[in-house]
Amino acid sequence: RAKGDGRGVYRFFEAEMDVRLQARRSLELDLRAAFEAEAFDLHYQPIYDLAQERICGFEALLRWTHPTRGRVSPAEFVPLAEEIGLIVPLGEWVLRRACREAVGWPEGLKVAVNVSAAQFTSSALIGTVKAALAESGLPARRLELEITESVLLVNGSATVAILHGLRDLGVRIAMDDFGTGYSSLSYLRSFPFDKMKVDQSFTRDLTVEQGSDFIVRAVVSLAASLGMTTTAEGVETPEQLAWLREEGCDEVQGYLFSPPVPASALPALLDLWNGRKRRAA
């Protein structure tokens, strides 16, 4: 009995795998075509400075509208772009586009750009960042690069050398999604990050019973003792905001302020949070 059933189950998995592989393969082709057709766009999410009580910058987030599937999440297509090597040219496009748009923002506002591990496989990244700054005219101090812990897992010492090269250009380096990776804290000795971004999974259950409040408190104090600032991601409620303010978190980001929006929506957002009306109030 078992034999027959097993075979049937196996066939079912085979068919299912086939469908998934085909779906993946077609998404892969669409992704390459999209790059050729420049079908990508950047949205921006405000980063709010709690001491200054104003928007201090925006994080650039890649958007892809697929011709038939509609909006595809970067959580789905970025890993695919990494696998097929497309992230290198795509990441370069993101950097150039983000710098070009940010140079037109009011003075002092910075732009944060996500950089994936695959972009750290050669020191070409330093030249790419340098070129993006030079051709846009954006001062280096207004650019912040967000990397995840996984970057340091792949090729530690080479990555650290590239990070120093980037730092020498004058850009800031933030550790994204802090607390979700598999690496140990020892990498914090190998490179002095400017900022830690507390992952949204910790922010989410900050104010629930038995929540992650002790973790976030520890991260804020760890960061402070290492001379880094902290940004909490995924802030959705006034309760979370009040807690983070109380605990000395420097910056916050989340739907409470705004979801990521097209560049055209930024002036209205700045008017809302940093504008004259607000100052008068």
Binding mask 201-230 vs ligand C2E (x if CB under 6 A, - otherwise)?
A: ------------------------------
254 binds ligand C2E (CB under 6 A): yes
Q: Which two tokens stand for residue 42?
A: 């950047």
Structure tokens at 145: 């690069």
* Residue 92 contacts ligand C2E per CB under 6 A: no
- Residues contacting 93, CB < 8 A, separation 6+: 35, 40
**Per CB under 6 A, 236 contacts ligand C2E:** yes
Integer angstrom CA distances of residue 144 from 76, 200, 218: 24, 19, 24
Nearer to ligand C2E among residue 94 and residue 111 (C-beta)? 94
45 lies in the site for ligand C2E, by CB under 6 A: yes
Q: Is 46 in the site for ligand C2E (CB under 6 A)?
A: no
* 146-185: contacts with ligand C2E (CB under 6 A): 146, 176-177
- Binding partner of residue 254 among ligand C2E, Mg ion, none, CB cut-off 5 to 8 Å per kind: ligand C2E
Q: Cβ neighbours of residue 161 under 8 Å, at least 6 residues apart?
A: 123
Give the C-alpha separation, 268 to 281, whole Å: 17
- C-beta of residue 143 within 8 angstroms of C-beta of residue 105: no
Q: Give the distance from CA 224 to its chain's centroid.
A: 21
Nearer to ligand C2E, 61 or 138 (CB): 61
- Helix, coil or strand: residue 90: helix
Q: Which does 244 bind (CB under 5 to 8 A by kind): ligand C2E, Mg ion, none?
A: none
Q: Are 46 and 58 in contact (CB under 8 A)?
A: yes
Contact positions toward Mg ion, by CB under 5 A?
114, 146, 176-177, 233
Contact positions toward ligand C2E, by CB under 6 A?
45, 61-62, 73-75, 78, 91, 94, 114-116, 146, 176-177, 200, 233-236, 254-255, 260
